[in-house]
């Protein structure tokens, strides 16, 4: 071969090496959150998923089924660990960086062994109650780190895995009296019932019922309590967007205080308000606005214990929870862990698991699955009590911003929680 041909061949080889190196570097720079934590290939892989309380029973059941299967990522077996945490509590922990995200100027490859070990329990994914909680957490980290940690597009975007909404649940005996008196179940009629000075006799009910008792989740323990208060404000102002100025209005605060004053005892209520409703009956309350899935999961227990079934009503101003599966894209977790989280996300959205969610009172996020697709669907079981497979036309409340949430929580702490 001539010297010229050898030179030409050398140039070609060099060019191929340069192109290959460029492609490799490009792929690494496009990884979510920059360079991910790199470790030796493990024999097994554990991912930790923070999970909102309303979907925790279903997600934990799904995780058990997933762990019992032969699921792998790049040939490595996956183990899913579920940690139940209220969405508002988790948001506070993200804001305080309790989970230990790395500072912006720290590279994963520079960590000591002890520092790497400290990241062993870092959450791989988060399933909060609603998408707006993810957006608030991401905004906090973006300000701190200069980059997104939860994405709204692409492969790792936050994706809803189930849906639920806030609905009225009242004991049938009480609901009949309120409908005869007011004609409709809404925050206005509930307010009038709560402030009736003569109690249930004034409303047309039994003297033994005493005064109307409202059931609302404790906003300090359950993000559903704040959601109910936002729905109250939406109906009061007859619009979907609520501001800090609206909450600070003295007339609204007086109206809200009268409503919340009808709750028997926030201090003794747990984070599982519907479960308390089922366990302790009328002593907890006569009815209130709770998450539909929580109500449905406790319908049978209420009927069995109290022989007075709940009636379900759907409000005009409704708050939706969409439980988005949100993968943390920062370098605190490995690429294998992120991809393992996607495997579990796909499992939750599979037809079988979406059908399984119906037994927990959750509406499927998978459009292929109807809410009455299986015999044990709670939506089919309780249709006679007002449950609707297709939600009637309602007005959806807009997601509150951080200032609105904090203002409502502070008002509650100062005026009700004491």
Q: Are 289 and 205 spatial neighbours (Cβ–Cβ below 8 Å)?
A: no
Q: Are residues 395 and 308 in the same domain?
A: yes
Report the DSSP pairing between strands 395-396 and 317-318: parallel
pTM: 0.87
Of the candidates 146, 139, 145, 129, the one whose C-alpha atom is nearest the C-alpha of residue 90 is 129
Measured in whole angstroms, the distance separating CA 249 from the mean position of its chain's CA atoms is 29
Q: For residue 78, what are the β-bridge partners? A: 45
pLDDT at position 37: 53
Give the Cα separation of 123 and 239 in Å (integer).
37
3-state secondary structure of 263: strand
The band of 164, judged by pLDDT with boundaries at 50, 70 and 90, is: very high
**Beta carbons within 10 angstroms of residue 245's beta carbon:** 10
The band of 21, judged by pLDDT with boundaries at 50, 70 and 90, is: very low
Q: Are residues 204 and 182 in the same domain?
A: yes
- In 313-382, alpha helices (H): 335-348, 351-358, 378-381
Give the Cα separation of 205 and 183 in Å (integer).
15
Q: Are residues 150 and 244 in the same domain?
A: no
Q: What is the CATH number of the domain that holds 147?
A: 3.40.190.10
- Residue in the structure block whose two tokens are 């936050």: 158
Q: Are residues 183 and 307 in the same domain?
A: yes
| pLDDT tens-place string over residues 39-51 | 567 788 999 999 9
Q: Are residues 187 and 262 in the same domain?
A: yes
Identify whether 8 is part of a domain.
Answer: no
Give the Cα separation of 167 and 312 in Å (integer).
7
Q: Are residues 302 and 259 in the same domain?
A: yes
Query: How many domains, the chain?
Result: 2
The band of 2, judged by pLDDT with boundaries at 50, 70 and 90, is: low
Q: How do the residues of the chain divide into helix, strand and coil, expressed in percent and rounded to 5? A: 50, 15, 40
Q: Are residues 173 and 291 in the same domain?
A: yes
Q: Are residues 190 and 303 in the same domain?
A: yes
Q: For residue 10, what are the β-bridge partners? A: none
Q: Are residues 54 and 125 in the same domain?
A: yes
Identify whether 354 is part of a domain.
Answer: no
Q: Are residues 128 and 172 in the same domain?
A: no
Identify whether 13 is part of a domain.
Answer: no
Q: Are residues 220 and 280 in the same domain?
A: yes
Domain boundary at 333, 349, 365, which?
349
Identify whether 51 is part of a domain.
Answer: yes
Identify whether 313 is part of a domain.
Answer: yes
Structural domain that includes position 250: 164-320+380-415
């Amino acid at each position: 071969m001539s010297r010229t041909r050898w030179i030409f061949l050398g140039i070609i080889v060099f060019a191929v090496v340069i192109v290959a190196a460029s492609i490799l570097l490009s792929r690494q720079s496009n990884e979510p959150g920059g360079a991910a934590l790199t470790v030796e290939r493990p024999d097994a892989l554990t991912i930790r998923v923070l999970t909102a309380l309303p979907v925790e029973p279903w997600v934990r059941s799904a995780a058990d089924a997933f762990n019992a299967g032969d699921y792998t990522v790049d040939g490595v077996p996956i183990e899913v660990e579920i940690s139940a945490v209220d969405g508002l509590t988790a948001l506070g922990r993200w804001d305080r960086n309790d989970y230990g995200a790395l500072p912006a100027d720290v590279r994963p490859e520079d960590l000591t062994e002890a520092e790497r070990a400290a990241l062993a329990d870092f959450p791989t994914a988060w399933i909060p109650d609603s998408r707006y909680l993810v957006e608030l957490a991401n905004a906090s980290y973006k300000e701190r780190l200069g980059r997104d940690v939860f994405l709204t597009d692409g492969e790792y975007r936050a994706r809803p895995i189930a849906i639920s909404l806030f609905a009225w649940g009242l004991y049938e005996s009480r609901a009949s009296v309120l409908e005869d008196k007011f004609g409709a179940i809404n925050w206005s009629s509930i307010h009038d019932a709560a402030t009736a000075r003569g109690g249930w006799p004034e409303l047309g009910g039994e003297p033994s019922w005493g005064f109307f008792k409202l059931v609302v989740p404790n906003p300090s323990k359950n993000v559903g309590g704040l959601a109910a208060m936002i729905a109250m404000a939406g109906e009061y102002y007859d619009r979907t967007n609520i501001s800090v100025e609206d909450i600070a209005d003295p007339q609204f605060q007086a109206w809200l205080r009268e409503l919340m004053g009808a709750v028997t005892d926030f201090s003794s209520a747990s984070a599982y308000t519907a479960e308390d409703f089922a366990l302790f009956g009328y002593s907890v309350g006569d009815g209130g606005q709770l998450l539909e899935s929580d109500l449905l999961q406790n319908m049978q227990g209420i009927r069995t214990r109290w022989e007075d079934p709940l009636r379900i009503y759907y409000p005009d101003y409704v708050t939706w929870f969409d439980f988005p599966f949100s993968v943390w894209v920062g370098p605190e977790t490995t690429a294998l862990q992120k991809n393992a989280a996607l495997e579990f996300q796909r499992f939750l959205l599979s037809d079988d698991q979406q059908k399984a969610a119906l037994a927990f009172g959750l509406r499927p996020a998978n459009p292929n699955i109807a809410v009455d697709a299986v015999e044990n669907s709670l939506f089919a079981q309780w249709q006679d009590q007002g449950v609707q497979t297709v939600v009637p036309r309602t007005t959806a409340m807009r997601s509150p911003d951080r200032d609105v949430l904090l203002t409502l929580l502070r008002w509650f702490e100062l005026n009700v929680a004491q």
